[in-house]
Structure 1
Amino acid sequence: MTRVLILPGRGNSGDKHWQTFWERSHPEYQRVLQREWDNPHIDDWVETLNQAINADSSPVVLVAHSLSVALVAHWAARHRGPVSGALLVAPSDVEQPAYPAGAEGFAPMPLQALGFPAIVVASSDDERVSLVRARQFAEAWGARLDVPGAFGHLGSLAELRDWPYGAERLEELLARR
């Protein structure tokens, strides 16, 4: 059986976030809990993710939002494991000058192939990443870029609830197994 690991961005995903809605609908999905949500350090986050991925040998699909998209890129640059796919939603451009301080070590963004199938989903009006950068990330990672429209950062404020569009992309990755 393929495990689904939910990877929230900075601050964790609250009650109105689509990741939380997915967990409520799918109790078998596992949220990876970081020790420090507000002032994250890349080495700590990568180690926590690596432990979750390698908790057993069953295949894993990662569902990352925002800063955790960078986490997946950093993990893939350092490790290998039973990852069979990744849904990478609303990547934060950690290299832009306006990116909030307090996320130590996330920049520069790794720009090499991830080594597993991935879909990057980016909004056309996300204040944290331009479509040009989202496309650059997707191409570098060997991922497909999907743009569902103008939804801002595709998080809690977008009020996506159970977000069928994203769920369809996840199902596509799970079906590849």
Structure 2
Amino acid sequence: MRNERVRYVLVPGWHGSEEAHWQSHWQQALPNASRVEQEDWITPRHADWVAELDREIRRLPGRVVLIAHSLGCVTVASWARRADPRVRSQVSGALLVAPADVERESCHAALRNFAPIALDALPFPSVLVGSDNDLACSPQRALQLGRAWGAETLILPQAGHINVKSGHGAWEAGYRHLFRLQHLIDQQARRRA
């Protein structure tokens, strides 16, 4: 019999998520959690990152919740635009944390091949969490991305890039955003029933 429990798939950003990063903590804490591994974390290739995300989702049975950080958010948006509808339907929702604006003037050259950012509405519930002082994405741009993706968007005060460097370690406060996403997923399921 097929296991219908939700799988959590962590989608790290540029350089991956080191051991102290909240994504690594969450991978250990959440049941049925896995992470997308990339062949090259330093000089990422857009097509390769999208393909690895697709492979990870296809590998898993049942429903999937994506938990993305930074460049991982852009990867999720690109994947959703191109994915096979059957595979895309496996995704119940996405938590998108501190998206990287790869179109900004100050963006590192290694990330520019991820531009332009896919701005299609995501076909599943999503929550975007940004920050009012994230150097990788202004709060205005985070709100714009949230609107385009159809995500419920929250801008945290003085949270930086929501990573180890900005003091977010295990980021236990972030679980409330995952719970909010689960609420949106449940609401959608009730409407469809």
| TM-score for the superposition, normalised by structure 1 | 0.94
Match for residue 13 of structure 1?
17
Note if 1:43 corresponds to 2:47: yes
1 CA distance for matches of 2:78 and 2:133?
25
Is the partner of 1:63 in helix, strand or coil?
Answer: strand
Contact 1:13–1:156, Cα closer than 8 Å, also in 2:
no
Higher relative contact order (CA 8 A, sep 6+): 1
Match for residue 4 of structure 1?
8
Unaligned runs of 5+ in 2: 187-193
**CA displacement, residues 113-163 of structure 1 (integer Å, 9 cap, x when unaligned):** 011101110011001111111011000001011122211111111222221
RMSD: 1.4
Note if 1:75 corresponds to 2:83: no
Unaligned runs of 5+ in 1: none
2 CA distance for matches of 1:174 and 1:54?
21
Note if 1:168 corresponds to 2:176: yes
Letter in 1 for 2:10: I
Match for residue 117 of structure 1?
125
2 CA distance for matches of 1:137 and 1:34?
24
Match for residue 136 of structure 1?
144
Is the partner of 2:81 in helix, strand or coil?
Answer: helix
User: What is the aligned counterpart of 1:90 among 66, 86, 98?
Assistant: 98
Is the partner of 1:128 in helix, strand or coil?
Answer: coil
Relative to its length, the structure with more helix (as a share) is 2
1 CA distance for matches of 2:120 and 2:29?
34
